[in-house]
């Protein structure tokens, strides 16, 4: 699998306070929707995923993805 440039840029430095739109697979529209739902930083989405015990199926049905029906972004490659 070849990582996207966005993913390579993201993992090249610590997560810190990166905005939600900096995550690989999160475009402008999804990023804006997530921000409007309170997921403004990428660490907030990662935190939600970890709270859900890295259960990808459950994460798809609630948390950040619930704000964006039909979209899927699972941060499993980050942990």
The pLDDT, as a whole number, for residue 57 is: 77
- Dihedral angle, C-alpha 34, 25, 77, 4, nearest 10 °: -150
What counts of helices (H) and strands (E) characterise the chain?
A: 4, 0
Domains of the chain: 5-78 (1.10.150.40)
Q: What is the pLDDT of residues 35-45, one digit of tens each?
A: 888 889 988 88
Confidence label for 67 from pLDDT (cuts 50, 70 and 90): low
What percentage of residues in the chain have a pLDDT greater than 90? Answer: 4
How high is the pLDDT of residue 40? 92
How far apart CA 14 and CA 22 sit, in angstroms, is: 12
Is the pTM higher than 0.85? The answer reads no
Q: List 19's β-bridge partners, or say none.
A: 41
Residue 19, SS3 per DSSP = strand
């Amino acid at each position: 699998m070849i990582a996207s440039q966005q993913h390579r840029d993201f993992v090249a430095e610590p997560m810190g306070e990166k905005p939600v739109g900096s995550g690989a697979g999160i475009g402008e529209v999804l990023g804006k929707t997530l921000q409007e739902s309170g997921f403004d930083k990428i660490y907030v989405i990662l935190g939600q995923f970890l709270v859900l015990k890295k259960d990808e199926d459950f994460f798809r049905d609630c948390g950040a993805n619930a704000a964006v029906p039909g979209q899927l972004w699972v941060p499993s490659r980050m942990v």
